[in-house]
Structures are given as structure tokens and as C-alpha cells.
Chain A
């Protein structure tokens, strides 16, 4: 945990030589505690003091990086219990698990690597593949991992086996360069696993059963003692209640108690017999503190839900994702193309833009500055009213782009049409449908009629 100014002062030379630019060591220490200056400004800090200060300024939940290259992802470094306090920063990696002897291993690997979906202008993808040792010889496991890497080059991996020799063989076979996450060191195998993780410099999961935090603490000490610092924790609870309790306790221990030994990101094995039950587990894991979520079902509806949820939970709670308010051209609109107006909340913009684009209707889309509020929220907050609509139209230069003067407003603000007509007397104000899905039909059947 961060040190106070006074605690830092005790570690300084206390000579008040002023070389740091501060009148006293205490003044320097106070500024340092507020992160307003750097330790290097004092030429006389002892090595011991430096080590103590570095340790104290390290994040309470260590960052773990899984994979190498473009698709590598980091988890950890979180600083709060609730997202309204401060944005959650490193969204959990969604990883699909496949057994090493599965006939469709390469196929699943390729599908996981290739899955992607657009939402609110962002491309959402899965993060990795977990290859679970089906048992048997180390060489067979190594071959399966090699096959997965060939089918999904660059996709981060989680290597799952209780057998350190199998993991070693897979890493030695070339996987080590891609820095996969090793799952897992347990009370039974930690020496061998720690050795493998150290040898190949890969992050390591330490795992216990049934949320046994005492066991986890002990294992953490043992594995770190053996020289492995990049850890991920698997508390191994089997019920939703158990997972929630363990995840909450570990987050609190790290953030509130400064428990460095347990200050690592978590892995949640959300796998369940049905995709519905798995979705419930994974949904809980997204909101409640998981860093890596392991799934068993490649069910697109479930994956799309989880990617959307993750995007929701990890956005800045203070500031909605927004578009620049201006005139957008969807397709290549001409003087005859329809003119629609909406707000600059990204979700709203993309709902509308997506529909007209999908239907192949070239459109002029005016985006009003509603401070990132949706149509109804903006309207209720007085940020998307007749005046704002008129101002947006006048300031956009749209008059010079089209030969007609027909403006479509969202169906949800039908009540504004009279006022907008007063503000924009030369325009014909048309009330569009409430839902964006119905816009293409509306343009085909009503707008041109």
C-alpha cells in the first residue's frame, strides 16, 4: 500500500541539503506521497530505502501479461471494489477451453481466433485458447499444443495440466516464446511447476480447492520462494456463492489490507455443463473481479453476450462513449438522400448508422451534441430539444448538400416536431419510427412517398 509522507520521510537521509529542490526532506517526502515528484530527484537515497519505496508504490494487484505479440493481454492492476468509484481498467480475458485429445481441436482453435463482433464501433474478440491435458504422455500433450498454435497463430494460450512434464514439453516445443499462462501449480506439484514456469519465464496459476485462502497464501509463499513472481490465482470454488465469496475476499485483501502475497489477478473457471449455466458463471466473473475467464462452450450467443457485458462493465462510469457531433455521410449520400438526426451517444449513433448502412441506404446522419446522452435521456435532460436540433441543422451546412428539405427526427421525440417546425420553418419535419430497426422500412415506404 502507498506510504504516507511521514513514512517516506523516515526513509530519507534527513539532512535537508535541498538538492532535490525542496527546502527540507519532509517537504520532498510530502510531495512524493502525492506523486508530485520523483524519488530520483534526491541523489542520496539509500538502496534499502529505494527498495522499500518501490515495493510500497507497486500496484496492490500485480499485472500479469498473457501471450506475446499483438494479441497479448494484461490483467490485474485494479484499484477499486466498485466501478462507480473508478473505472475498472483491465478487462478479463475470455478464453475457450478444449481438451488435448479432442478431434476438433484445430478447428476450435481457429474459430476462437477468428471470432469477432462489432459493437458501438469497436471490434470485440476472444482472448485465448486453453488446451487441457486429457492425460497420457507428455509428448502427446506437446503435440496438441503445437497443433493449436499452428491453427491459431499468435492467439494467447493457457496450458492446463497437473503434470509439469507435459507443460515443460509443450513449452520446450516452441510455445514458450508466446508466454502462455500455465495452469496450475497446486500443493501437490508446485515445486516442479514453479521450476518449469521459471525456466520458460511464463506466468503461473496457483490453485487450491474450495476457496481455501490459507492454502493459497501458503502456495504463494512457496512459489515466490522458488523464484516465480508472475502469478495468477485460482481459488477453485465450485459454487457461484463460493466463487463470489473468494473473489470478493481476495480483492479486499489486496486493496484494503495490502496483502501482497495475494495481490494477483484471478482466473475463474466458468465452465459448466450447459451454456446457460456457464453464461451465469461467466457473467458473475466479469462483474466480480476475474482476470481470466475459462469457458467450455463455443456458443456464439453466449460469447456475444459476454463480450457486450465486458464492454459495459469496463467503460468509464462518468463519461459515456461518445461520437464527435457533426454531419456523417453513411454510404455515399446525394442531394436526394434522406436526412436523419440523432444524438452523439455512441450506442445511439451506431444503432442508427448500423441500420441504414446494413440496408444499403445512403444517408445524411446529423449528430447533435447531447453530451453523450441517448435520445430519451438527452431529451429528459434538456440536451436534445427543438433548439438543439435546429442549431445542429443550421450549423451543419446540410442545406447546401440536399435538394429537399425533409428532416427525420426519432420517433421517441415525436412530441418535439411542432417546436422544431417553428425553429426550422423552411423544413418539413418528419417523425421517424421509435426503433432504429424500423428505419429502413420507413425510408422505403414513408420517406419517399
Chain B
């Protein structure tokens, strides 16, 4: 019998590599995290390389998130009262990176000052050796102020600063450019919008080796399939050589999954949904796995049990690669 001829696609393009942490001197990180560099679709080792295994970031906030699901509050306990302690626990739980959200700076959440924000970032940097992603509070004007202050005071740490959107990317990109940081470019589930923002950012002179893209994700049952297909299309375009789609992708699977009713509602839901203790984690794991399969290079997660499940999954997915 003639052996089966394995159909291998020949791709001409590759995903860019992005490194977080102090990759070119300066900074205080004990380790760096590199992502991207793929020359084939996710985990298809028979076709091409995936030089860096996707990384897991754990979301940490600078104030106790009282509105988070009770399951998450129980999982992290008192550590949530202090970002540095929380970050340490997250690293113990298996985080490759910390995604710090400076929420207390939001005008609706106490309107904390830039000085406080910088102090928090410095405390987290001192508490953990891993690289940091820093998210502003999510209010355009304040994001600009806070992220600029943070960027200046942490020169050389090569943080990833987020979020850059089409309306406010200029200030954040400029801050990253001047201080050796990377940025996260977010667009709403659309191939062309993602390309466009990458072009705008690169036009400002920031090397594309310092740009992650967040294609914006919906959770399982809440738009996940749209993200899944847009990510597949972005990754196919990247492999076919479309330069402005070749950024590694970051997905906030945890935030989306735990926002939904499935991650929050106790009692009062059909028995077939299962218990909240399992359901929230199941929602996060399934959302995260689906995004990995369509090209996520960094997963931002919330629950320690999901972190451990996704670490095991990545061990298994990168076997023999």
C-alpha cells in the first residue's frame, strides 16, 4: 500500500515575535515572555513552527473587585485587597504574566491619582519577577493620563500597555515609543479594523515587534463564534503574508466568561446548568480553549483552576512540536 501523502500547506508569512519584560537591557524582570513567531496554524507541528508556547496572564486589579463573581472572590480571598499580594498568588498559581488593571483610577471608581497608579505598578513589579501588562481604568481621558505616567516611571520594563483603540491610540503609542514599552491594539471583531489600527500605530514609528492585537472577544454563548472566525481569518491572512495582520493576539477570555450570567448566577437557574463552582470555570476553560485553537498567543484568565487547566492543555498541545 502506498503511504498517505499528508497534505501540508505552504505558507509564505509568519507571525511577528513580541517580547515582554526587559528584553534589551534595563528593567528588573527575572524572566521575559516571548510570544508569536508561528509559521503555521496553531499547534500544527507537522506543518510549521510555533517557537513560543502561548502564555497565560492572570488579571489582577488594584482594588478589591466587589462586583466579581463570588466564585472568583472565594478563589483569591483576601489577596484581592492588595494588588502585590494578589499578583504573587497569581504567579504561584501558574501565571506567566500579570495583567494589572488600574481600575481605581476610573472617575466612577474613586478617581485615583496617577501617582497612586504608578506606586501600585512599582509595588507589583517589586513583588513578582514576571513581565507585566498594564491596563488603564477604561475611560479614554484617564487612560491616557495614567498610562503615560506609568510608562515614564517604568522605562525599560517593556510592559504591554492597553488598550489602544482607534480613538486614543496616539498618546499611548507615544508613551510606549519613548519608554521602551509595547502596546495592545484593540478593535471590535473585524479584520480590516485590526489591520487599520496596526498601520496607524506603525506609522507613528513604533516597531511592530512591540504591538499585540486584541481582536476583542465575546464569551462562550455571547459572541464567541464571531471572534473565533475573525481570529482564524486574521491568522490565515498573516500566514499568507499580509504584513499588517501578523501581530500576536491577546484575548481576555476570563473577563468575558465571568461577566456572563453563567459565571455569576447561583441557584435560580436550571439544574442542567450545573453548580456555579463548576460552571464558571467550565465557561472560562471552554472560551479560552476555543480562542487558543483560533490563534490566541496570550490568554488573560481570572480563576486559578482555569489557569491550571489551560497550563495542562498547553503542555498537551505543544507535545512533539
Interface string of A248-260 (1 = CB under 8 A from B): 1100110011010
The residue from A115, A118, A244 contacting B317, defined by CB atoms under 8 A apart: A244
With CB as the reference atom, state the residue of chain B lying closest to A317: B229
- Best-buried of B293, B310, B321 by chain A (most CB within 10 Å): B293
- 21 inter-chain pairs at a CB distance below 8 angstroms, sorted by A residue, are A82-B236, A83-B228, A214-B3, A217-B4, A240-B317, A244-B293, A249-B6, A275-B282, A276-B282, A277-B313, A280-B312, A284-B289, A300-B273, A304-B262, A305-B286, A309-B221, A312-B221, A312-B225, A312-B228, A313-B228, A437-B264
A104 interface contact, C-beta 8 A: no
Is B232 a contact partner of A116 (Cβ separation < 8 A)? Answer: no
Q: How many angstroms from the CA of A351 to the CA of B294 in the assembled complex?
A: 27
Instruction: List chain B residues, Cβ under 8 A from A335.
Output: none
Instruction: List chain A residues, Cβ under 8 A from B262.
Output: 304
Is B309 a contact partner of A280 (Cβ separation < 8 A)? Answer: yes
Shortest CB distance B201–A (Å) = 22
Is B7 a contact partner of A253 (Cβ separation < 8 A)? Answer: yes
Is B289 a contact partner of A374 (Cβ separation < 8 A)? Answer: no
Q: Which of A267-322 contact B (CB under 8 A)?
A: 275-277, 279-280, 283-284, 287-288, 299-306, 308-309, 311-313, 315, 317
Instruction: List chain A residues, Cβ under 8 A from B233.
Output: 82, 84
Is A117 a contact partner of B272 (Cβ separation < 8 A)? Answer: yes
Is B268 a contact partner of A257 (Cβ separation < 8 A)? Answer: no
Residues of B within 8 A of A (CB): 1, 3-7, 41, 43-46, 188, 220-226, 228-229, 232-233, 236, 261-262, 264-265, 268, 270-275, 278-279, 281-283, 285-286, 289-290, 293-294, 305, 309-310, 312-313, 316-321
Q: How many angstroms from the CA of A221 to the CA of B4 in the assembled complex?
A: 13
Shortest CB distance B65–A (Å) = 16
Q: How many angstroms from the CA of A304 to the CA of B310 in the assembled complex?
A: 19
With CB as the reference atom, state the residue of chain B lying closest to A119: B221
The residue from A280, A317, A374, A437 contacting B285, defined by CB atoms under 8 A apart: A280
Instruction: List chain A residues, Cβ under 8 A from B319.
Output: 239-242
Is B225 a contact partner of A347 (Cβ separation < 8 A)? Answer: no
The residue from A244, A275, A284, A309 contacting B278, defined by CB atoms under 8 A apart: A275
A19 interface contact, C-beta 8 A: no
- Best-buried of A218, A240, A436 by chain B (most CB within 10 Å): A240
Q: Which of A425-449 contact B (CB under 8 A)?
A: 435-437
The residue from A240, A275, A311 contacting B316, defined by CB atoms under 8 A apart: A240
Is A305 a contact partner of B282 (Cβ separation < 8 A)? Answer: yes
Shortest CB distance A186–B (Å) = 17
Q: A252-B7, A280-B313, A309-B286 are in contact. Are A317 and B270 (CB under 8 A)?
A: no
Is B321 a contact partner of A301 (Cβ separation < 8 A)? Answer: no
Is B278 a contact partner of A257 (Cβ separation < 8 A)? Answer: no
A201 interface contact, C-beta 8 A: no
Instruction: List chain B residues, Cβ under 8 A from A317.
Output: 225-226, 229
Query: Closest 4 CB pairs between A and B?
Result: A301-B274, A300-B274, A301-B278, A312-B225
Interface string of A123-167 (1 = CB under 8 A from B): 000000000000000000000000000000000000000000000
Q: A240-B313, A279-B286, A347-B222 are in contact. Are A245 and B274 (CB under 8 A)?
A: no
The count of A-to-B residue pairs whose CB atoms sit within 8 angstroms is 167
Q: How many angstroms from the CA of A309 to the CA of B220 in the assembled complex?
A: 6
Q: How many angstroms from the CA of A284 to the CA of B314 in the assembled complex?
A: 12
Q: How many angstroms from the CA of A213 to the CA of B46 in the assembled complex?
A: 14
With CB as the reference atom, state the residue of chain B lying closest to A288: B293
Is A301 a contact partner of B275 (Cβ separation < 8 A)? Answer: yes
Instruction: List chain B residues, Cβ under 8 A from A253.
Output: 4, 7
Instruction: List chain B residues, Cβ under 8 A from A257.
Output: 5, 7
- Best-buried of B188, B279, B316, B319 by chain A (most CB within 10 Å): B316
Is A308 a contact partner of B289 (Cβ separation < 8 A)? Answer: no
Instruction: List chain B residues, Cβ under 8 A from A435.
Output: 261
Q: A288-B293, A299-B278 are in contact. Are A306 and B286 (CB under 8 A)?
A: yes
A380 interface contact, C-beta 8 A: yes
Is B290 a contact partner of A117 (Cβ separation < 8 A)? Answer: no
The residue from A117, A213, A216 contacting B273, defined by CB atoms under 8 A apart: A117
A397 interface contact, C-beta 8 A: no
Instruction: List chain B residues, Cβ under 8 A from A262.
Output: 4
Is A242 a contact partner of B320 (Cβ separation < 8 A)? Answer: yes
Is B279 a contact partner of A315 (Cβ separation < 8 A)? Answer: no
Is A283 a contact partner of B45 (Cβ separation < 8 A)? Answer: no
Q: How many angstroms from the CA of A239 to the CA of B313 in the assembled complex?
A: 9
The residue from A83, A116, A249 contacting B272, defined by CB atoms under 8 A apart: A116
Q: How many angstroms from the CA of A4 to the CA of B288 in the assembled complex?
A: 43
Instruction: List chain B residues, Cβ under 8 A from A221.
Output: 1
Q: Which of A207-227 contact B (CB under 8 A)?
A: 213-214, 216-218, 221
With CB as the reference atom, state the residue of chain B lying closest to A314: B225
Instruction: List chain A residues, Cβ under 8 A from B5.
Output: 257
Q: A280-B313, A305-B283 are in contact. Are A241 and B318 (CB under 8 A)?
A: yes
